[in-house]
Structure 1
C-alpha cells in the first residue's frame, strides 16, 4: 500500500491490468449483482435532477421501480445505492441495437444534456473507495464479469489506475493524481511494481 494525503491505495490498483472490453461483456457490470451502484449522498439530488432528462430512455420496469421507491434505496448494509429492476439491473441502464447495456446518464452527459457524468462509483469501477473516518481506501475490486477487461488490460499493458485516470481525477483532483504517478515511478525504480 501507498498513501497520498489521507488516501491509502492498494498496490493492486497500481499492478493489476484492466481495460474495459465492451464487445466481450456488453456492459454486464450494470446489470449483474445483488444491489445497485453505491451512491454518495450529494449524488442523490443529481440523480433526481437528471431523471427527467433520461426518463424516456429507461425501461417501463425502471419507471415502476422509481415511482415506487425513488432513484436510490438503502441496501442491506445501510448504504445508499441506485434502485434496481428485477433484483439486478440498475434503473439507469439502457440497451442499444446490439444488445449492449449502457448508462442512460452517461449517454445524456455525452450528448451535452447534463453536466452530471454518472455516480462516481460507476465511473471508478473496478476501483471501490472505502471511507474509514480519518482516511479513505482505494481498492481494486475483482469480479468475474470483468475477466475480458483483465485480459485486454494485460494485452495492452494498461494498469487499473491508468485506465481510471479521468474518474480518479474527478474524485481526488489533478494534483493528487500527479502525486500518484510520481509514487508509481518511484515504486518502479525500486522494483516494487
Structure 2
C-alpha cells in the first residue's frame, strides 16, 4: 500500500492494467449494481442547481425518479448516491442503441453546466472510502470490467495512469505527482 497525506492507496492502483472498453461494456457500470453512484455532499448542491439543464438529456423514467426522490438517494449504509430507476440504472442514464450514457456529462459536454459528473463515476473502477482519519483508495474489481483489464494489459496502461485526470480532480496535481514518485520508488 502507498500512503500520501491522509490517503491509503491500494497496491492494485499501481499494479493492475486497465483501459476502459466502453464499446464492449456499453456503460454497464451505470446500469448494474445494488446502489447508485456515490455522491459527495457538495455534488448534491451542484445537481440541484443544474437539474433543469440536465433534464433535457434524461429519460422520462429518470425524470420521474428525480421528481419523486430529488437528485440523490441513500445506499444501505446511509451514504449519498444517485437514485436508481427500478433498482437498475442510474436515474441520470440515457441510452443510444443499447449503450448507457450520462445525462449529467451530456449537459456538461453541451456547455450547459460546469459540472462534468460525480467524481465517483469519473474515478470508476476506483472507489474512495471515508474513515475517521483517512481515505482508502481501492480498486473495485467487477466482471463487467473484464474487457478493460484485457485492454489495459494489451496496451500496458496501469490503472492509476488510466485514471490520471479523475485522480487529479479528486486529490489534486501535487497528490498525483507524489503518487508517481512513490510508484517510481517501488
Query: Which TM bucket (shorter chain)?
Result: over 0.9
Deviation of 1:23 (Å): 1.0
Unmatched runs of 5 consecutive residues or more in structure 2: none
Indicate the residue corresponding to 2:58 in structure 1: 58
Q: Secondary structure of the equivalent of 1:37?
A: coil
CA RMSD of aligned residues (A): 0.9
In structure 2, C-alpha distance between the alignment counterparts of 1:127 and 1:140, rounded to whole Å: 4
Indicate the residue corresponding to 2:9 in structure 1: 9
Indicate the residue corresponding to 1:121 in structure 2: 120
Aligned length in residues: 186
In structure 2, C-alpha distance between the alignment counterparts of 1:50 and 1:101, rounded to whole Å: 21
Deviation of 1:106 (Å): 1.1
Deviations 1:100-126 (CA, angstroms, capped at 9, x unpaired):
111111122122221101111101001
In structure 1, C-alpha distance between the alignment counterparts of 2:105 and 2:62, rounded to whole Å: 17
In structure 1, C-alpha distance between the alignment counterparts of 2:50 and 2:141, rounded to whole Å: 30
In structure 2, C-alpha distance between the alignment counterparts of 1:50 and 1:148, rounded to whole Å: 34
5 Å matches for 1:28-47? 28-47=28-47
Deviations 1:120-143 (CA, angstroms, capped at 9, x unpaired):
110100100111111111100001
Indicate the residue corresponding to 1:133 in structure 2: 132
Indicate the residue corresponding to 1:190 in structure 2: none
Indicate the residue corresponding to 1:147 in structure 2: 146
TM-score in terms of structure 1 length = 0.94
Deviations 1:35-58 (CA, angstroms, capped at 9, x unpaired):
100001111011112211121211
In structure 2, C-alpha distance between the alignment counterparts of 1:68 and 1:114, rounded to whole Å: 23
Q: Secondary structure of the equivalent of 2:112?
A: coil
Unmatched runs of 5 consecutive residues or more in structure 1: 188-193
Deviations 1:73-92 (CA, angstroms, capped at 9, x unpaired):
11211111100001111011
Deviation of 1:99 (Å): 2.3
In structure 2, C-alpha distance between the alignment counterparts of 1:58 and 1:138, rounded to whole Å: 31
In structure 2, C-alpha distance between the alignment counterparts of 1:110 and 1:58, rounded to whole Å: 14
TM-score in terms of structure 2 length = 0.97
In structure 1, C-alpha distance between the alignment counterparts of 2:66 and 2:30, rounded to whole Å: 17
5 Å matches for 1:159-178? 159-178=158-177
